[in-house]
A and B are shown apart, each in its own frame.
Chain A
């Protein structure tokens, strides 16, 4: 993996986002989408379809993966261009779930959805674009929109824990960040302390999986 800081370039023209993210992840981003979906809805009781809110759904990778597992998904994103790409996609063959799309910011969840509306909330490559106080706010609101036992699953670029890996990661990321800045005048920061943020928002049974040299984390928590 290079660095997902390149997302900033990809986001500026939505139709190239999917191709770019696949390239950035060495073709493995679909594995991440599938893993997030599995952690969000996999293993849940089959009495009714699981209701999932995908925050910052972008072009719909995670939302469609959840729908493929039979979930009823609402994908929200503030970028109308990305949503247009998502809307144009068909559900995966054999999928029994549903998906709908809505232009909405992460901090606007409370405007549209009542308390305990969802069984799972997902966010992939979203928290690295938010300020820390907004992350905390979104997690608090997301928790209130989840049923008891509901799951939150976050997937994002993070810094490796190991000092040597972290130094190497920073060296590798620096030119990518510089070039991204030249092209877009913006950058992203790796998300920090995602598990701690989940705990601070009141989630329990928190687990964290690392991949890509420890520079990408998938974090899951539950509402007690």
Chain B
């Protein structure tokens, strides 16, 4: 039942275009199925990803000059991290991709390399049971794939942790900021002329870019969250005032319109600014009021949780053969560790004391719209 391999994916290897930059929050589907990178043979590695065009392009570019199979599972045109977290990319999709591609007839080895960031929604062991392929976690970022392959398919610790460099933060600022920028500037120009529109555009752009540029050090917990947004709204307002002064149009009514526009734009972004980054826990997810909890008696030291954590929150204590939660404050409650633990030794503990067991996390992924279906047990926890 094998099917033809796409020798050159529709996503190609071209550099990212304007659509990829500005409309990346929209699904942008690449073809599903098996693609060839270079001239792969029966022994070439099989890299699994979702069918999000930007990812496919970047992966092909990262693997330029190498030979590999690229298996694109149906992630509904969404990036792997968001698709897996939202329940749109699961082990069923990857099993289907393996079957539909006739992979078992194409390669002689039996190994799949999964993107680490799909661990929130893809159950690795179920893929192995259904396909007979060993499923191995790759690095968190696709540009680390060549080094991972050269190292004998081992992930270095630094490659497990998510990075969010300035260039990508500014790309994200452009992607999320331009609709706010265009709407606020358009309305302001319509109400108060082009000078006000230009000042609002400068103000919103400065506030949004400033927020994303500050991400690694941005305080987003407790009351500090609101001070952070207020500070960058103030920064944007200052830039807008400067623009109006330069245009000789800084009348009081203009300043009021400017303030309203900047506050509205920053308020819109603040609804779930955290969720637009891989650095913070979503402000809307049901897991936002939870922390991970280790039931130590259940822990067998498999340490798969350590392999899939994108924030390096967990570590293996080799002496005790137990995992430890070493950096709880960095946890973004993605649930990857809970989903992958073979012993169900990790779970969510809600602020109110209830627990969310692994079976519930696997079933709901704690996605925003599924929030009402999450079952929280109102008890003290301990042994389940």
Binding site for B on A (CB under 8 A): 9, 12-15, 78, 80-81, 84, 105-108, 110-111, 130-131, 133-134, 137, 140, 181, 183-187
A186 contacts which of B27, B32, B92 (Cβ < 8 Å)? Answer: B27
CB neighbours of B33 from chain A (8 A) = 131, 133
**Is B45 in the interface zone, CB < 8 Å from A?**
no
B78 contacts which of A13, A108, A111, A185 (Cβ < 8 Å)? Answer: A185
List 12 additional A-B contacts (Cβ < 8 Å) besides A133-B32, A185-B25, A185-B27: A9-B369, A13-B369, A78-B90, A105-B92, A105-B96, A108-B92, A131-B32, A133-B33, A133-B100, A184-B369, A186-B27, A186-B77
- The 7 lowest CB-CB distance pairs between A and B, nearest first, are A12-B369, A105-B92, A107-B96, A78-B92, A80-B363, A137-B100, A186-B76
Query: Is A137's CB under 8 angstroms from B27's CB?
Result: no
Among A15, A105, A130, the one with the most B-chain Cβ atoms within 10 Å of its Cβ is: A105
Encoded as 1 (CB less than 8 Å from any A CB) or 0, chain B from 74 to 85 comes to 101110001000
B95 contacts which of A13, A80, A108, A130 (Cβ < 8 Å)? Answer: A108
B96 contacts which of A9, A14, A134, A187 (Cβ < 8 Å)? Answer: A134
Closest B residue, CB atoms, query A188: B76
Given A107-B96, A134-B74; A12-B363 close (CB under 8 Å) = no
Query: Is A12's CB under 8 angstroms from B95's CB?
Result: no
B1 contacts which of A9, A137, A185 (Cβ < 8 Å)? Answer: A137
Given A134-B74, A185-B27, A186-B76; A13-B373 close (CB under 8 Å) = yes
CB neighbours of B125 from chain A (8 A) = none
CB neighbours of A187 from chain B (8 A) = 27, 76
**Is B88 in the interface zone, CB < 8 Å from A?**
yes
Query: Is A140's CB under 8 angstroms from B1's CB?
Result: yes
Minimum CB–CB distance for B197 against chain A, Å? 26
Given A13-B372, A78-B90; A107-B99 close (CB under 8 Å) = yes
Q: For chain B, residues 26 to 48, give those with C-beta under 8 angstroms from any C-beta of chain A.
A: 26-27, 32-33
CB neighbours of A130 from chain B (8 A) = 74
CB neighbours of A78 from chain B (8 A) = 90, 92
- The CA of A140 and the CA of B221, in the complex, are separated in Å by 53
- The CA of A186 and the CA of B50, in the complex, are separated in Å by 14
29 pairs of residues in contact across A and B, judged by CB atoms under 8 Å: A9-B369, A12-B369, A13-B370, A80-B362, A81-B363, A81-B364, A81-B373, A105-B92, A105-B95, A106-B96, A107-B95, A107-B99, A110-B99, A133-B3, A133-B32, A133-B100, A134-B32, A137-B96, A137-B99, A140-B1, A181-B26, A183-B369, A185-B25, A185-B82, A185-B86, A185-B88, A186-B88, A187-B27, A187-B76
- The CA of A106 and the CA of B130, in the complex, are separated in Å by 13
CB neighbours of B77 from chain A (8 A) = 186
Closest A residue, CB atoms, query B77: A186
Closest A residue, CB atoms, query B371: A13
Cross-chain pair count, CB within 8 angstroms: 73
- The CA of A137 and the CA of B3, in the complex, are separated in Å by 10
- The CA of A73 and the CA of B118, in the complex, are separated in Å by 33
Given A12-B370, A133-B3; A111-B74 close (CB under 8 Å) = no
**Is B367 in the interface zone, CB < 8 Å from A?**
yes
Query: Is B370's CB under 8 angstroms from A186's CB?
Result: no
Given A12-B370, A131-B32; A186-B78 close (CB under 8 Å) = yes
- The CA of A9 and the CA of B76, in the complex, are separated in Å by 14
CB neighbours of B130 from chain A (8 A) = 108, 111
Given A80-B363, A81-B363; A131-B74 close (CB under 8 Å) = yes
Q: For chain B, residues 331 to 375, give those with C-beta under 8 angstroms from any C-beta of chain A.
A: 362-364, 367, 369-370, 372-373
Encoded as 1 (CB less than 8 Å from any A CB) or 0, chain B from 84 to 116 comes to 001110101101100110000000000000000
CB neighbours of B27 from chain A (8 A) = 181, 185-187
CB neighbours of A133 from chain B (8 A) = 3, 32-33, 100
Closest B residue, CB atoms, query A133: B100
CB neighbours of B369 from chain A (8 A) = 9, 12-13, 183-184
CB neighbours of B372 from chain A (8 A) = 13
CB neighbours of A9 from chain B (8 A) = 369
Closest A residue, CB atoms, query B3: A133
CB neighbours of B363 from chain A (8 A) = 80-81, 84
Among B93, B95, B100, B372, the one with the most A-chain Cβ atoms within 10 Å of its Cβ is: B100
Q: For chain B, residues 283 to 309, give those with C-beta under 8 angstroms from any C-beta of chain A.
A: none
Minimum CB–CB distance for B165 against chain A, Å? 25
- The CA of A15 and the CA of B371, in the complex, are separated in Å by 12
- The CA of A14 and the CA of B93, in the complex, are separated in Å by 20
- The CA of A14 and the CA of B100, in the complex, are separated in Å by 28
Query: Is B367's CB under 8 angstroms from A12's CB?
Result: yes
- The CA of A56 and the CA of B96, in the complex, are separated in Å by 14
- The CA of A9 and the CA of B370, in the complex, are separated in Å by 10
CB neighbours of B26 from chain A (8 A) = 181
Among A185, A186, A187, the one with the most B-chain Cβ atoms within 10 Å of its Cβ is: A185
Closest A residue, CB atoms, query B33: A133
Minimum CB–CB distance for A56 against chain B, Å? 11
Minimum CB–CB distance for B252 against chain A, Å? 37
